[in-house]
Amino acid sequence: MYHALDKRVEGSPFSDEVQASFSKLRHLIDPQEHADAHAELEQKAQVKDLVDSPFNDFDGAPQAEYWISFMEMVEILTQNIHSIRTRNWTDVRSSLRRMLPWMQTYDNDKYGRHLPDFCVVIDTLPTEQASFMESGMFAQSMTGNPYSCIALVNLEFRGQGVTQTVK
């Protein structure tokens, strides 16, 4: 994919404005200026066409479709890991829901069978338990360093005479 995109960049006559934005991306060190140049490029129709064109060229090719689906699956798994490491409950729930079709596709019977039920449970938690999870208490960090949280193995909810264990 990189080589296909690289060939398109070499042969494409971009406007001076787009060329200047590309130059900024290559040479800027300041993160905010870099983010601004990236956002500016995302708005340009020329750049969008450039990025979309390799996908159009490979549309319908079985090998390309396999790798695109693989990248989508890896993105979901990466989102899940990132959301746990950063204690972002909303993204954990989102990534779990996005995993559901993949669990069925790859016939992982345990996750494919139990994950829908788990998603329903975490989406319908009582207010007190939901606020507990939203505060990031579903993950812990032994060091306190950024991006160092791991999910709790067992989590018990006690309230109103009912105990639920989430594993």
Nearest residue to 75 (alpha-carbon basis) of 115, 102, 51, 48: 102
How far is the C-alpha of 19 from the C-alpha of 3, rounded, in Å?
19
Q: How far apart are CA 40 and CA 22, in angstroms?
A: 10
Mean pLDDT of the chain: 78
List the chain domain ranges: 1-57, 61-167
Instruction: Give the C-alpha distances (Å, rounded to integers) separating 165 from 5, 17, 115, 140, 162.
Output: 49, 57, 15, 17, 10
pTM above threshold 0.75:
no
**Helical residues (DSSP H) of 12-57, grouped into ranges:** 16-27, 31-42, 45-57
What pLDDT digit, counting tens, does each position of 8-61 carry? 566 667 777 777 777 777 676 677 887 887 788 888 877 777 777 766 777 778
Distance between CA 89 and CA 150 in Å, rounded? 13
